[in-house]
Amino acid sequence: MAGKRADPSQLTVEQLTAEQLTAFLQHLESGRKNAASTRDVRLSAVHSFMRYLGTHHPQHLAQTQRLLSVPFKRTGTREIHHLEFAEIQAVIQSIDLNAADGPRDFVLLSFLFNTGARVSEAVGVQACDLRLTTPASVILRGKGRKERVCPLWPETARALRTHLERQSIALHEARSIFLNHRGQPLTRFGVRVILRKQLNRAIWKTPSLKDQRLHPRSLRHSTAIHLLRSGVDLSTIANWLGHVSVNTTNKYLTLDLETKRAALAKAKPILARNHGPPGITPTAWFRHSHVQPTKP
């Protein structure tokens, strides 16, 4: 079946064997050139179906167990890409507000960085989801149709109010606030195009952006890092971003080099400054009175 055209609706349970599944996974990697992570996503879907099948149709339990034994592949962890606060500022400030779409792009980027919203959440925001009086906030609808309220900075709220007035959209209306040039809601692809365009504009004034990539997820990561450096605790950041578990948010601790440098500056060095090269004296390792080197 792997690599062959077939109607999935015609497959029978008996055809779903461990050998066929292994061949399909190999075809994904060698034939379609999919990454191991993509291969594991497909396998996870098969495993979910097998667990359902074994629970509701026990006569196939032996077969489902064989399919569930097909292992996942170990994949390396990708580096989390983010932009520094100054780089985000440079991109937003380089937007041409006199251009036709300039004001919209300014509000969109400001909103994404403020909320750390997923792109699907941002393009789904309607005017009735906004509260622009103090304290300003927005209702975001995330994965699994879960709603959360995210605070808005006063600057973001003012920009949104001006944007709605320009678009003649009332706050109580169930209308999308981010529209394309045809008057239709922006798509995820459209947001990516906007971010790429504005990054290219900012490169001229900020050369450090030349090797950077700006996409909705990198903005989301940048928001998390900015909040972390501002002293916001992890549980609040998890709520802010809509993470189900704080464990998901913990990854930003390993990414924040500024926090590590600050911790390093506060920590005492192992070697005393007075003991320079080339030799390293034992007393540099035992500066505390209660710890003394033992005699041989």
> Residue 145: which region, alpha, beta or left (left: phi > 0; alpha: psi -120 to 50)?
left
Q: Are residues 42 and 178 in the same domain?
A: no
99 against 293, higher pLDDT: 99
pLDDT at residue 288, rounded to an integer: 45
* 278 falls within a domain: no
Q: Are residues 171 and 33 in the same domain?
A: no
* 274 falls within a domain: no
* 275 falls within a domain: no
pLDDT at residue 142, rounded to an integer: 83
Q: Are residues 147 and 249 in the same domain?
A: yes
Per-residue CA distances from 281 to 29, 35, 274, 288, 291 (Å): 56, 51, 10, 15, 15
Quickly state the pLDDT bin for 285 (edges 50, 70, 90). Answer: very low
Q: How many domains does the chain have?
A: 2
Task: For residue 236, give its domain range.
Answer: 85-257
Q: Tokens for 94?
A: 């380089």
pLDDT at residue 157, rounded to an integer: 96
296 against 171, higher pLDDT: 171
CATH number of the domain that residue 234 is part of: 1.10.443.10
9 against 296, higher pLDDT: 9
pLDDT at residue 44, rounded to an integer: 93
Q: Are residues 18 and 138 in the same domain?
A: no
* pLDDT per position as a tens digit, 218-238: 889 999 989 988 888 889 999
Q: Are residues 226 and 144 in the same domain?
A: yes
Q: Are residues 130 and 233 in the same domain?
A: yes
Q: How far apart are CA 289 and CA 296, in angstroms?
A: 19
